[in-house]
Chain A
Amino acid sequence: MVSNFGWPRLSVFISCLLHLKLRLLSIVVVSCDNIWFPKSVNIRRNHSLTWEEPVVSRLGQGDVAVVAEGTIGEIMVLLKDIIPAAQNNIDTKFILLEKGKTTVEGQNKICMALVADETAAVHFQFWGDECNAFNSGDIISLTNGIFSYQHGNLLLRAGKRGNLAKVGEFTMVFVETPNMSEIHWIPDPNNSKSYIKEYVISPVSRIFPSPVSDM
């Protein structure tokens, strides 16, 4: 499967276990193109590593490789696991499916969008220059993002403390159900700072309907 892609544009998706003593990351190649992580691993380190050809051709599913710490990105959360919170604590990666119209709110432009990863979709709000910086099909990495209510809509956004960067295009699998913005959340009775899912308002986005493939 590796050879199908040609190196080194190939993204090797990996799950990682942190070896604190060695300060090394040992990585298990789970799959080269179709990401799936076992439930027991609840952190995801997902990163496009650029390997030299000999390394890529030697790596296969289930292999364990060791790379020095620091060459791998942050712990990223999957969209299905995001929970509304008043904190800028979400690091994730998604593909931009569709942008709505850019509107002006006070001094600033805002733009609603639908983004998704391989586990869920969510409504995203671009702000200011971000509105024009991305196009549908772009793969975007978000650092220190926030998932919270804005005028009654549940939205993911970078906020003042977060960052967005385009890291690729096209080559990402996504689903449009569930949509995390179309879930009704209630305060967690066991933890006043957190929310739990009460019910699904709509399985897919009501703002951006999914296109139907004819073939």
Chain B
Amino acid sequence: MDLGKGKGKGAIGSRSRLGFVWMALRLTVAAALEAESAIEASLREAFESLQPSLRPPFSLAIPSPDQYALLNRAILHAVLTEPHFAVTHFKHLHALVTDGYASFVHLILNLVLLLFPKLLPSVKTQLLWATHQTVRLSAIGYDAVLFSLFRHISAADYTEPNLSLCFQLVTLFFEQFHRLLEDAPHLFSFALYTFLRVLADHSRVTLQQLEPLKRLEIHLCVKILREHFHLCFKIGRDIIRLLQDLIHVPEFKAILQDIVYNPSAFNVVGFKFNDVSQIFSTRTSSRYSLLRISPEMETQLRFLLTNIKLGHQKRHQLWFANKFLNEPDKEFLIVDIVRFICCAHHPPNEIIQSDIVPRWALIGWLLTCCRRNHAMANVKLALFYDWLFFDERVDNLMNIEPALLLMVHSVPKYVEITHALLEFLLHLVDNYDVERKTIIVKGVSSAFQLLVRKGVVPSLDILTSCSALNPGLREGLKRLVSGGTAG
């Protein structure tokens, strides 16, 4: 990437000379004084160098590997910026392709990961159209593109571009249902996870223009759950957490009741579903938590948790909040961020032992960003969710570590946080699922025991003998930890 420096003035000068052409070739909404990104420049340069050969009659010569790569970039740029010739450009691609469209799809993937939020509306439309074409062609790697597009669907965002992306992806799933089922069945669990999560937001607000989209999303989720439950089942326990958030939607209430009381309703040939505890005992893969975090948010969170020293994180936290949590409803995103931090960001030992911002500190800050009680309760549930059904044979210590460290480290200066978290955990044990209380007691107590055994904290004394904590809570904690051993 040429940052446009060195030749700074010259580069900008030559751009303005070609101002008209250059502007027309842009893929992104360029802010004033913003350098062009490397990927955008490489597509544009390929397009500029090959422009004359992108119109029929196309060359019959077999391109060298370098020319092939260049042609792929040029054609993608042409598809994105010349909607009226897009079909022709695709025909050109069909005639050339020797790698199952892998290079072409790889370029689309990079655009989605690196530039999607900044793409011009017309370019976004073309990109989604091109993605749709690659699905039709069963092109190699299109599943990764769809996965990354799901990541750009933001929770608690009712703006037109976001709702339009939801609409286009739901529609794509309906139109290509059978092909996807055959080619890439794993995408159904990603689609389900995404749409169940955004439905929680879409059902919270009443917006007239949201209704048709909401109906489509419900329809797709119900179809996947009712007809292909074996694909949803392997998502694991987080699917129940999402469904419980949708209990007020009659379709999902009925599904949840069937999961709990009538599991055989989901049996199909070769798949037998016996009991909800099968789902509870399955840890949800970190790919699902990643799915609910945009690539840009992921970069910033990982940067903070890898490079910034504890005590010096204030400015980065502010910038993160200004960008991603800048509206009242955005607090509903914190649930996803906490799940991501617990399940998908597991720092290596060198970082854990260094003075870098630990995960519990970032989660502590995120808790202070919650204003509404039910948003706060959902965040706490997200923090403790893997505790409830913890089984060290399938579960990961790193998923439960932040909650304990946050409780322990808050004792000296923020004991009210320790209090609120411990109270919430004991409340969960008693009330989350009364019929499975024995399993939950066992899960939570074995979580505590493993954390002590592995040396995450030397002992639980700091909590059980903390005079600033309510004696009832301390008793409850002691009982819980020992109860697990007895059970």
Using a CB–CB cutoff of 8 Å, the interface residues on chain A facing chain B are 1, 4-6, 8-9, 33-34, 47-50, 71, 73-74, 91, 97-98, 129-130, 132-134, 136-137, 141, 143-144, 161, 163-167, 169-171, 173, 211-213, 215
Judge whether A143 and B6 touch: CB under 8 Å: yes
Q: Which residues of A contact B322 (CB under 8 A)?
A: 137
Residue of A nearest to B298 (CB): A6
Bound form: Cα–Cα A98–B315 in Å = 9
Known: A8-B110, A33-B307, A133-B31. A48 touches B319 (CB 8 A): no
Q: Which residues of A contact B308 (CB under 8 A)?
A: 173
Bound form: Cα–Cα A173–B312 in Å = 10
Bound form: Cα–Cα A119–B313 in Å = 17
Known: A50-B38, A211-B315, A215-B361. A73 touches B5 (CB 8 A): yes
Judge whether A212 and B314 touch: CB under 8 Å: yes
Judge whether A50 and B39 touch: CB under 8 Å: yes
Bound form: Cα–Cα A166–B311 in Å = 27
> B295's contact among A6, A33, A71, by CB below 8 Å, is which?
A6
Judge whether A211 and B3 touch: CB under 8 Å: no
Q: How many positions in chain B have a CB within 8 Å of any CB in the partner chain?
A: 46
> A211's contact among B12, B110, B318, B414, by CB below 8 Å, is which?
B318
For residue B180, give the distance in angstroms from its CB to the closest CB of chain A: 25
Bound form: Cα–Cα A170–B319 in Å = 7
A sample of 15 more A-B contacts (CB under 8 A), given A170-B303, A215-B310, is A4-B302, A8-B114, A9-B114, A33-B306, A48-B1, A73-B3, A73-B6, A91-B5, A91-B6, A141-B3, A165-B4, A165-B35, A170-B316, A213-B313, A215-B365
Q: Which residues of B contact A169 (CB under 8 A)?
A: 319
For residue A159, give the distance in angstroms from its CB to the closest CB of chain B: 12
Bound form: Cα–Cα A144–B32 in Å = 19
Judge whether B5 and A143 touch: CB under 8 Å: yes
Task: Tell whether B300 is near chain A: CB-to-CB under 8 Å.
Answer: yes
Using a CB–CB cutoff of 8 Å, the interface residues on chain B facing chain A are 1-6, 8-9, 12, 31-35, 38-39, 110, 113-114, 295, 298-300, 302-303, 306-308, 310-320, 322-323, 348, 361, 364-365, 414
For residue B120, give the distance in angstroms from its CB to the closest CB of chain A: 18
Q: Which residues of A contact B31 (CB under 8 A)?
A: 133, 166
Judge whether A171 and B318 touch: CB under 8 Å: no
Residue of B nearest to A212 (CB): B314
Bound form: Cα–Cα A9–B112 in Å = 12
Residue of B nearest to A142 (CB): B5
Judge whether B9 and A34 touch: CB under 8 Å: no
Q: Which residues of A contact B114 (CB under 8 A)?
A: 8-9
Residue of A nearest to B2 (CB): A73
Bound form: Cα–Cα A137–B32 in Å = 16
Among the interface residues B5, B6, B114, B302, which one has the most CB atoms of the partner chain A within 10 A? B5
Majority-rule SS of A interface residues:
loop
Judge whether B113 and A9 touch: CB under 8 Å: yes
Residue of A nearest to B305 (CB): A4
Residue of A nearest to B306 (CB): A33
> B320's contact among A4, A165, A166, A170, by CB below 8 Å, is which?
A170
Judge whether B311 and A213 touch: CB under 8 Å: yes
Q: Which residues of A contact B32 (CB under 8 A)?
A: 129, 132-133
Known: A4-B302, A50-B1. A166 touches B12 (CB 8 A): no
Bound form: Cα–Cα A152–B361 in Å = 42
For residue B31, give the distance in angstroms from its CB to the closest CB of chain A: 7
Which 9 pairs across A and B sit closest by C-beta, in order of nearness? A137-B319, A163-B8, A50-B38, A143-B8, A211-B314, A213-B314, A133-B33, A165-B35, A166-B34
For residue A210, give the distance in angstroms from its CB to the closest CB of chain B: 8
> A213's contact among B6, B303, B312, B348, by CB below 8 Å, is which?
B312
Bound form: Cα–Cα A4–B110 in Å = 17
Bound form: Cα–Cα A164–B348 in Å = 37
Judge whether A165 and B6 touch: CB under 8 Å: no
Judge whether A171 and B300 touch: CB under 8 Å: yes
Judge whether A47 and B3 touch: CB under 8 Å: yes
Q: Which residues of B contact A165 (CB under 8 A)?
A: 3-5, 8, 33-35
Give 14 A-B contacts (CB < 8 Å), ordered by A residue.
A1-B306, A33-B307, A47-B3, A71-B2, A129-B32, A129-B33, A134-B33, A136-B318, A137-B323, A163-B12, A165-B4, A170-B323, A171-B299, A211-B318
Residue of B nearest to A132 (CB): B32
For residue A71, give the distance in angstroms from its CB to the closest CB of chain B: 8
Bound form: Cα–Cα A136–B316 in Å = 10
Q: Which residues of A contact B316 (CB under 8 A)?
A: 137, 170
Judge whether A170 and B8 touch: CB under 8 Å: no
Known: A5-B299, A9-B299. A166 touches B35 (CB 8 A): yes
Bound form: Cα–Cα A91–B3 in Å = 12
Q: Which residues of A contact B312 (CB under 8 A)?
A: 213
Judge whether A164 and B33 touch: CB under 8 Å: yes
Among the interface residues B6, B110, B300, B323, which one has the most CB atoms of the partner chain A within 10 A? B6
Residue of B nearest to A213 (CB): B314
For residue B410, give the distance in angstroms from its CB to the closest CB of chain A: 9
Residue of A nearest to B320 (CB): A170
Q: Which residues of A contact B311 (CB under 8 A)?
A: 213
Judge whether B319 and A173 touch: CB under 8 Å: no
For residue A111, give the distance in angstroms from its CB to the closest CB of chain B: 14
Bound form: Cα–Cα A48–B35 in Å = 12
Known: A33-B306, A47-B3, A166-B31. A144 touches B8 (CB 8 A): yes
Residue of B nearest to A166 (CB): B34
For residue B360, give the distance in angstroms from its CB to the closest CB of chain A: 9
Bound form: Cα–Cα A51–B34 in Å = 21
Q: Which residues of B contact A141 (CB under 8 A)?
A: 3, 5, 35
Judge whether B303 and A171 touch: CB under 8 Å: yes
For residue A205, give the distance in angstroms from its CB to the closest CB of chain B: 13
Known: A9-B114, A141-B35, A165-B33. A33 touches B303 (CB 8 A): yes
Residue of B nearest to A130 (CB): B33
Among the interface residues A1, A129, A163, which one has the most CB atoms of the partner chain B within 10 A? A163
